[in-house]
Structure 1
């Protein structure tokens, strides 16, 4: 397979939508005939439910959840355990061969703590692609949770968008950020096909891109700049080929790439 791989990031909310999971994995199965695919996932809702049931609370600083080290066993259990295995089971049910992994497996990604105030929250960097490439060569579907580790062995919670970006960087892959929205909408609720940094700033100033979508678009822009290629924001119910053919979703463009 000479074409570049595809990294697909999904949020934890997908776990609550069984039909969407099935549709996504069937679409991946079709794409796998010609290209390697990797799934990277978060699991925020699942983590929040678990923490609440344990009576554990956490705060956010600058939009990032503070993660005390003593919470990491539960967060690892939720993300690398429950969320990962639910996705793998759904993939298996559609005839795929999933392999559940975390960022630290095979020394794919090395992470370092972001800052003391965030606790066990890390920033990821590419390390060694050998293991992941050898897995992909066996026509399996890696399903990677956003749990990482420092070189000293400290487990770290990684933002799932950043986790997906670093895996895309590791493989020089195309990145699709999929959620329960069709893409970025304009003031008339029409889909915007492509955005660059200037247009994002303009729409944000006009109150068109706000709140959660602003966070998503900013993350996508950062990913696009890192990867030096367009990043796609689209729905996980859309066909992957349709997204890549620009029939749906929004392309977030790095500064040096003009929309096509």
Structure 2
């Protein structure tokens, strides 16, 4: 049986209509005999809630600097998104349960990063150091679709904010997923960012490195492909980037054998 991990965030899937559309496709995947794990972020929504509370979001090297107050905001917002997604799945006939990342992973605190020669402490930010695939598999065996939000814990039980791509990569590898599908706000990897028809259908990590080196892959696309790399190097079978705004098919083209998004393999 094929096992897919779908990762989405607020830039690609946001609000009831988007979640319902994705849920219908998840239901179709399951009816087709596949098992599905969902992992979601909520970066835009977290930043908006922080600003609403008079807090200033801060990112360093693409990672949200997280103190105790901003961790509390992140958890509140992520729980709300999680609950909404579970409701949409159930509306489409999918039995689902929302769980925090620490249900199936162990995390460690992320080391400080160096920016312009200065070391910056990211605060309560974690990265996945281990996965318990049995906790996920037990749910799947019962016909339950897990919906994971990326709040982790370290070995001492301290809560940590984890990048959703990082959480998804760790779970995809640990659970032995056939494919991790990163639902983004772009059609895939493009040779020309202004031309959707320049999408690359399939490439290896070696080719990814070449495209980063020549500047074809740049800016916000780099963290997306680096998350794909982490999943592949940790053991995921393949990673596919697809467009969450595609009106025709976000993920179900995959089981129909229709080329969709950009497939990245280890090579």
Q: Deviations over 1:146-180 (max 9, x none)?
A: 11011211100111111111111221012111122
Q: Deviations over 1:118-153 (max 9, x none)?
A: 100001123422222111112121110011011211
SS at match of 1:104: helix
Closer, same or farther in 2 for the Cα pair 1:240/1:134, shift >3 Å? same
Q: Confirm or deny that 1:74 pairs with 2:79.
A: no
Instruction: Show the counterpart of 1:231.
Output: 239
C-alpha separation in 2, matches of 1:50 and 1:185? 32
C-alpha separation in 2, matches of 1:140 and 1:127? 19
Instruction: Show the counterpart of 1:216.
Output: 224
User: Where does 1:41-120 land on structure 2 (aligned, <5 Å)?
Assistant: 41-79=40-78, 81-105=79-103, 108-115=104-111, 117-120=121-124
Say if 1:231 and 1:251, in contact at 8 Å, map to a contact too.
Answer: yes
Closer, same or farther in 2 for the Cα pair 1:228/1:9, shift >3 Å? closer
Q: Which runs of 5+ in 2 are unaligned?
A: 113-120
Say if 2:66 and 2:161, in contact at 8 Å, map to a contact too.
Answer: yes
Instruction: Show the counterpart of 1:242.
Output: 253
C-alpha separation in 2, matches of 1:128 and 1:101? 13
Instruction: Show the counterpart of 1:5.
Output: 3
SS at match of 2:46: helix
- Residue 11 of structure 1 deviates from its aligned partner by 0.8
- Residue 4 of structure 1 deviates from its aligned partner by 3.7
Say if 1:234 and 1:243, in contact at 8 Å, map to a contact too.
Answer: no
TM, length-normalised to structure 1: 0.89
Q: How large is the RMSD of aligned CA atoms in angstroms?
A: 1.9
SS at match of 1:45: helix
Q: Confirm or deny that 1:195 pairs with 2:203.
A: yes
Please, which of 109, 117, 142 is the counterpart of residue 138 of structure 1? 142
- Residue 203 of structure 1 deviates from its aligned partner by 2.5
Segments ≥4 residues shifted beyond 4 Å: none
TM, length-normalised to structure 2: 0.87
Instruction: Show the counterpart of 1:182.
Output: 187
C-alpha separation in 1, matches of 2:13 and 2:203? 29
Say if 2:152 and 2:162, in contact at 8 Å, map to a contact too.
Answer: yes
Say if 1:113 and 1:122, in contact at 8 Å, map to a contact too.
Answer: yes
Q: Deviations over 1:53-111 (max 9, x none)?
A: 111113222221110123211111111x1111111122122221220101112xx1001
C-alpha separation in 1, matches of 2:213 and 2:40? 30
C-alpha separation in 1, matches of 2:236 and 2:75? 31
* Paired positions, count: 250
Closer, same or farther in 2 for the Cα pair 1:228/1:103, shift >3 Å? closer
**Comparing 245-254 with 161-170, which one deviates more in the overlay?**
245-254
